[in-house]
Amino acid sequence: MIEAQALSKRYGAKTAVDAVSFTVQPGKVTGFLGPNGAGKSTTMRMIVGLDNPSGGGVTVNGRAYAQHTAPLREVGALLDAKAVHTKRSAYNHLRAMAATHGIPNSRVKDVIELTGLGPVAKKRVGGFSLGMGQRLGIAAALLGDPHTVILDEPVNGLDPEGVQWVRHLAKGLASEGRTVFLSSHLMSEMALTADHLIVIGRGRIIADAPIQSIIDGQGKVRVRVRADRPQDLLGGLAGEGVTSQVLEPELVEITGVEPRRIAEIALRERVLVYELTPLQVSLEDAYMQLTQNEVEYHSHTPTAADPAAAPSEGR
Amino acid sequence: MATSTTPAPALQRPRPDRNPGPGVNFGRVLKSEWIKVTTVPSTVILIACTVVLMVGISALLAWQTTFLFEAQSDPEMAAQMQAQGAPDPNDIVRDIPGSGLTFGQLLMASLAVVLIASEWATGMIRSTMVAVPRRTPALLAKQLIMAVISFVIGAGSALIAYFIAQPILAGSDLDFGLGDDGVLLHIVNTGSVLALVSIFAMSIGTLIRNTAGGVVTSIGILLVLPIVVAIFGSGTEWVVDAARFLPSSGGEQMVATTIADGAFNQWQGALVLGGWSLLLLVVSLIVTKKRDV
């Protein structure tokens, strides 16, 4: 279990993580979703004590990470696939990590097998592909057979087979009662893996709920309507609890009511309707709606001032 | 909290009082750092170079000293050479075993910086600090291993150099015994200087977190600064006085076989160099504990 209390991180004037509080429960996969630069990696680094919070705190299994006597046996973390000396072999890297906790070499060989690194284990990490580096990071995270597993963008650079493997791994670990916390900026990936979602944007928690309720809550029916007098149509819909957005003089998007009902109202109001298109609401849309206010920073053409939008991802 | 949706509670592990298994202790961290030091090629290459260079320089110096001795066996030549300030071979032979110390410092200081700064360059430091989140034991273990390696390389090279130099010197009757005045201390302290220098350099590497910057800074302070001070400060009394407290001056006194009047002896020299190394070590530990990785 991971518990964050008013956790904050500021870099100078920029607030990367803004007083977030959340709990990651054992026994399920919790997705940590947000656009690039939203504060996911910074939050995860604070969980394992690499970054010191500017305010608030975070505990894992009831204690700050550094207070555990056997941290690798409590928490396994993949934060950065490149956290490896490039001239050392994967096997020696894992052996050095394992030695700090007296983890036997047999376990090192186990995680190498588990992550499919066998054929390249004795090769220098510098020559690894992104996907292989990712597998090595996951192997390191699993070394201590930890009760809590934190994976930052674990499917980055993996081939489809690898992506599927990570999904099964995450679900398998959760079904054993472990706490699994994984981040992504892809809603589609989360939809397939996570049971619970914590959505973060610009350092703040936007949503923290079971994945189904996030989809249901945001995914109302949306219909695109072209009509000659849209205002009259919207006036007729006033009692139906809809939200609408006028995109062009004769084009509106209406959310919250079935297309058939719109047609009925249009007929009653004698409005000419010449397009009535139900828009598919995907998970991606639900996510975009959730975060649209939080990503405006990224949506315009990059300018000199823009790199400030993503201060923490590339570290 | 929708814990009711959690499948298979039978698989739920008992917590939080379960015993997670063996934890981090200094012995284990030492073993981990030893694996790290011995599994990158730069360590082995730099160590081999250091031994070869230190022994080679001593052998060359021994050989050169025999020429000096021959030249001075001619009384006329000896008088002329003495006027030019050439040393008496009998005074300098006992410094031969550790004569490669400057090069040893150059290489071992570089290795010390590389070992820590490369962790930052490659990102390995994050793995290290996740495994040892208290941080200080990881740094101390690395320092200890590097210091021991440096001591063994320094003292070992000096001892090998001693035995190689004796047959060369014997031809001119300049050979000397291990038990002679200051010889054994000279050999041991050649290792001690390297050990202290490696702590000095690794602390700088820890603070600067950059291989090139760390090497340049360490070498600058240890080997270039004394030259600059000697060139520009020789006429100024307070500079000369202060220069005795440079880390390099402390190292020089540690391996001196004859102590000039008013100069620091071997132990005082060790206090000077050791003081600098300890100061930087403590600062680097405090700073690393506080900074984000």
pLDDT tens column, B45-67: 889 999 999 999 999 999 998 88
Is residue B258 within 8 A of residue B141, CB to CB? The reply is no
Q: What is the pLDDT of residue A295?
A: 56
Q: A137 and A66, same structural domain?
A: yes
Residues in A closer than 8 angstroms to B28, CB to CB, are 99-102
Q: A226 and A206, same structural domain?
A: no
| Structural domain contains residue A303 | no
One digit per residue, the tens of pLDDT, for chain B of length 293 reads: 333 333 333 334 444 456 778 999 999 999 999 999 999 888 888 899 999 999 999 999 999 988 888 887 777 877 777 777 777 777 788 899 999 999 999 999 999 999 999 999 999 999 999 999 999 999 999 999 999 999 999 999 999 999 999 999 988 888 898 988 889 999 999 999 999 999 999 999 999 999 999 999 999 999 999 999 988 887 788 888 889 999 999 999 999 988 888 889 999 999 999 999 999 999 999 999 999 98
A149-204 pLDDT, tens digit each: 999 999 988 899 999 999 999 999 999 999 999 999 888 888 889 999 998 988 88
Contact A69 B24 (CB under 8 A): yes
Phi, psi at A117, each rounded to 5°: -90, -5
| Structural domain contains residue B103 | yes
To the nearest 10°, the Cα dihedral for A155, A156, A159, A160?
A: 40
d(CA A99, CA B270): 34
Q: A131 and A48, same structural domain?
A: yes
Q: A21 and A126, same structural domain?
A: yes
Is residue B19 within 8 A of residue A76, CB to CB? The reply is no
Smallest Cα distance from A304 to chain B, Å: 27
Q: A171 and A85, same structural domain?
A: yes
Which residues of A, range 90-149, sit inside 8 Å of B by Cβ? 92-93, 95-97, 99-103, 140, 144, 147
| Structural domain contains residue A155 | yes
Around B96, how many Cα atoms within 13 Å sit in the side-chain half-sphere? 30
By DSSP bridging, strand A273-279 and strand A222-227 are antiparallel
| Structural domain contains residue A304 | no
Cβ contacts of B288 within 8 Å, gap of 6 or more: B135, B136, B139, B206
Range of the domain at B285: 41-50+96-153+178-290
Q: Is residue A152 less than 8 Å (CB to CB) from chain B?
A: no
In CATH, what number is assigned to the domain containing residue A268?
A: 3.30.70.100
Sheet (strand A55-60) strand order: A14-24, A2-11, A55-60
Q: A41 and A168, same structural domain?
A: yes
In CATH, what number is assigned to the domain containing residue A44?
A: 3.40.50.300
CB atoms within 10 A of CB A241: 9
Structural domain total, chain B? 1
Q: A122 and A268, same structural domain?
A: no
Cβ contacts of B22 within 8 Å, gap of 6 or more: A70, A101, A102, A103, B28
Phi, psi at B30, each rounded to 5°: -60, -45
| Structural domain contains residue A296 | no
Q: A228 and A129, same structural domain?
A: no
| Structural domain contains residue A215 | no
Range of the domain at A265: 220-280
Q: A128 and A15, same structural domain?
A: yes
Q: A250 and A120, same structural domain?
A: no
pLDDT band at A305, cuts 50/70/90?
A: very low
| Structural domain contains residue A305 | no
Q: A29 and A162, same structural domain?
A: yes
Please, what is the average pLDDT of chain B? 89
| Structural domain contains residue B251 | yes
CB pairs under 8 A between A and B: 144
Contact A71 B130 (CB under 8 A): yes
Task: Write down the H helix ranges in B85-135.
Answer: 89-92, 101-122, 124-131
| Structural domain contains residue A114 | yes
| Structural domain contains residue A177 | yes
By DSSP bridging, strand A273-279 and strand A196-201 are unpaired
Residues in A closer than 8 angstroms to B288, CB to CB, are none
A100-138 pLDDT, tens digit each: 999 999 999 999 999 999 999 999 999 999 889 999 999
Contact B22 A70 (CB under 8 A): yes
Structural domain total, chain A? 2
Domain boundary among A210, A235, A253: A210
By DSSP bridging, strand A222-227 and strand A75-78 are unpaired
Q: A155 and A123, same structural domain?
A: yes
